[in-house]
Amino acid sequence: MNGTNGLATKNQLPPPTERIPLLRWLKQNLFSSGFNAVLTLAAATLIVVIVYGLLRWAVTDARWDVIPANLKLLLVGTYPPELLWRVWATLYTIAFLLGGSARLHGGLIRRVATAGSAVAIALALLPFPLATRGWIAGVAVAAATGFGAAALATLGRSPRRTKVARRVELVAWVLSFPVGLILLNGVGGALPVVEGRNTWGFMLNLLGAVVGIGLSLPLGVLLALGRKSRLPAVRWVCTAYIELIRGVPLISLLFMASIMLQLLLPASIRPDLVVRAMVTITAFSAAYMAENVRGGLQAIPKGQYEAAYAVGLNGFLTTILIILPQALRAVIPAIVGQFIALFKDTTLFGFIAILELLNISRSVLGNLEWRGTIFELYVFIGVVFWALCYSMSYVSRKIERSLGVGVR
């Protein structure tokens, strides 16, 4: 009897208190053995020392006033101050279209527009000159105006009105690219041409990235399709181009475009140095983009082709409507990775006398007042590039998740 009661009492004991999940994770991953515990403590000590040193430098020794004092030079270089309204007009146009797209599509685009407006408002609160703060705040106002305009255009949520609004939106985005370039550069007559295009600072990095991304993707798709063509001449030409460009460093192609090309072409048709640089980086990126797209095309099973032919689609429609969308969907990470690499490669423009952000920062150091602020400038440049590259990566992940990339 006593034994039975003892057994029942033993079985009815409350379970032992579970360990705190954080402590269990630390024990399993960082302190699972004596050797791992020593490595963890050593690494933690090293990290603390480095972080403490960086924070102490950033708070006590760094001269951050070099950034606001030279912000205009870093962002737009020697762009004439009286013509800066063109830059703001271009930004306002993009913000207006982004706000309209946020209203028409919602989801990721709305989050991007909201984040951009929030950043603009936060920057407008910084101690810039009052006029500059007003221009910056105008970006958020333009986005809100675009949102409101799209809301009025689709008032009542009529499917027909929404369809028309989205067509207008697409045309506006397509036209914004050449209109923005013309506005920034100018044309003869009513809009004077802005000289010194190779000294525009960070704006050259953005222009190079926008032009390269906008043109390298369609060129890469055409090259990938041409490499898989059944026509030998088309296949050989595309293959030769891809392999030749991918086998040469970008810096050598930039030197060829800046030095050798002007020796081969007559002076009457010699393109501008910035144009040559953008064409070069676009051609270089298109070759790598073609291989990314070709990988996606090879991942499509043969049954997709057979199903398309079975419903009466010809080869062109099969490629455009069935194969290519699936191929691009499968290689979104590789495509966005190429976009990020292209954006960072624009810093190589400095080797051919184009003063983009990284190169124009050296002119700031030429001022005796800012001598010794190289680390502050490089930290600022690194933060700017990281923010934009991370934004592209974040948008890519959201697109992959919405399309179900990698989900079986």
Check which CATH number belongs to the domain holding 209 and give it. Answer: 1.10.3720.10
Is 8 inside a domain boundary? no
Is 227 inside a domain boundary? yes
Read off the pLDDT of residues 55-111 as tens digits, 9 standing for 90 and up.
999 998 889 889 888 988 999 999 998 999 999 999 999 999 999 999 988 888 888
Range of the domain at 276: 201-408
Q: Are residues 273 and 321 in the same domain?
A: yes
pLDDT score of 112 more than 50: yes
Q: Are residues 191 and 210 in the same domain?
A: no
Is 70 inside a domain boundary? no
Res. 8 pLDDT band, cuts 50 70 90: very low
d(CA 111, CA 400): 16
Number of domains into which the chain is organized: 2
Q: Are residues 281 and 364 in the same domain?
A: yes
Res. 407 pLDDT band, cuts 50 70 90: low
Is 270 inside a domain boundary? yes
| 300 Rama class: left (phi>0) / alpha (psi -120 to 50) / beta | beta
Residue 277, helix vs strand vs coil = helix
Boundary-marking domain end, from 195, 217, 252: 195
Is 155 inside a domain boundary? yes
Q: Are residues 273 and 172 in the same domain?
A: no
Is 9 inside a domain boundary? no
Residue 258: name the closest of 218, 104, 13, 250 by CA. 250
Please provide the DSSP assignment of 41-88 as one string.
HHHHHHHHHHHHHHHHIIIII--TTHHHHTHHHHHHTT--GGGHHHHH
E strand or H helix at 162: helix 159-185
Is 96 inside a domain boundary? yes
Residue 200, helix vs strand vs coil = coil
Is 289 inside a domain boundary? yes
Mean pLDDT of the chain: 87
Boundary-marking domain end, from 179, 195, 211: 195
Q: Are residues 367 and 262 in the same domain?
A: yes
Read off the pLDDT of residues 129-150 as tens digits, 9 standing for 90 and up.
888 889 999 999 999 999 999 9
Q: Are residues 102 and 168 in the same domain?
A: yes
Boundary-marking domain end, from 195, 222, 246: 195
* Higher-confidence position of 405 and 219: 219
Per-residue pLDDT at 20: 60
Q: Are residues 275 and 399 in the same domain?
A: yes
pLDDT score of 3 more than 80: no
Read off the pLDDT of residues 331-372 as tens digits, 9 standing for 90 and up.
999 999 999 999 999 999 999 989 999 999 988 888 888 888
Read off the pLDDT of residues 252-295 as tens digits, 9 standing for 90 and up.
999 998 888 777 777 777 788 898 999 999 999 999 999 999 99
Res. 406 pLDDT band, cuts 50 70 90: low
Q: Are residues 228 and 212 in the same domain?
A: yes
Q: Residue holding tokens 């800012």?
A: 370
> For the residues 397-401, what does the mean pLDDT come to?
86
Q: Are residues 189 and 260 in the same domain?
A: no
> For the residues 183-195, what does the mean pLDDT come to?
84
Q: Are residues 223 and 146 in the same domain?
A: no
Per-residue pLDDT at 281: 95
398 Cβ neighbours under 8 A, 6+ residues apart: 108, 111
pTM: 0.84
| Angle at 134 (CA atoms; ends 131, 135), nearest 5 degrees | 90
Q: Are residues 265 and 189 in the same domain?
A: no
Q: Are residues 265 and 328 in the same domain?
A: yes
d(CA 400, CA 353): 39
